[in-house]
Structure 1
Amino acid sequence: MHFKFEDLLIWQKAMDLGENMNQMAYKFPQVELYNLSSQIRRASDSIALNISEGSILQSNAEYRKFLGYAIRSTAEVVTYLHKAKRRNYITEEQFLSYYKNCFDLLNMTIAFRNKIKVV
């Protein structure tokens, strides 16, 4: 027994991204605990949460709205990655890896949202 959203590749990738961001944020300085660390964790977790929450709605229009929230949260994570890199909390290599994950997830989510017809 499982929920249909668990089969979605975008949900699976969003779950992975959330865990990666959580592990990365634990390594940030203590001064970032209630700032960048908390923000990147919440934004990255929000992606999978919105994908799953939207999937149980009856309306395709509502589902598209929740996918839009997931897309915006992904863009937010990208900005936090830039902040982390500028503050030298992550290496260029880490940044590029996480950035690519976000880029791919964002484009996959947009494509998925575009396939959902509004009646």
Structure 2
Amino acid sequence: MYKDFRELNVSQRIRAYDKGIYGISITFPKFEERELGSQLRRASSSVYLNLAEGNGQGYEKKEITHLSTCLGSLAEVKACLDLALDRSYIDQETHKSFDKEATEFIKILYKLKSNLESKS
């Protein structure tokens, strides 16, 4: 049965987070436009897109697989944020805020994944 992923509270938060990530990534130096900035945007977008794809298929095993991909993409976002901080593209406060929210998403998505795994 089809479930609209947009009805998940976490989906709406992840979409807003992705918009914020986009906003900070376009402030990176021009030479990083297709490098770290692009990688950060793709990793962040991947979370939202995989949540949608997994949720829309209606199969618990597929949803679990896509949630695992979401978790990996969030780890990649956190790593990109670390590199952006190291290269002084973002300040400590911005890093802390985006990193904290990514950690919250990891906890939420891990719980969703664990609940699905216990059903199957």
TM-score by length of 1: 0.94
Corresponding residue of 2:39: 39
Structure 2 distance, partners of 1:9, 1:58, is 18
Q: Which residue of 1 aligns with 2:25?
A: 25
**Number of the residue aligned with 1:89:** 89
* TM alignment of 1:1-119, pairs within 5 A: 4-117=4-117, 118-119=119-120
Displaced runs of 4 or more, over 4 A:
none
Distance in 1, matches of 2:113 and 2:10, equals 11
Root-mean-square deviation over aligned CA pairs? 1.1
Structure 1 alignment gaps of length 5 or more = none
Counterpart of 2:26, as a letter, is Y
Structure 2 residue runs without a partner (length 5+): none
Taking the aligned partners of 1:110 and 1:20, their CA distance within structure 2 comes to 22
In 2, Cα distance between equivalents of 1:55 and 1:107:
18
Q: Could you tell me how far apart the structure 2 residues matched to 1:54 and 1:104 are?
A: 20
Looking at structure 2, the residues matched to 72 and 13 of structure 1 have their Cα atoms a distance apart, in angstroms, of 18
Query: What displacement does 1:11 show?
Result: 1.2
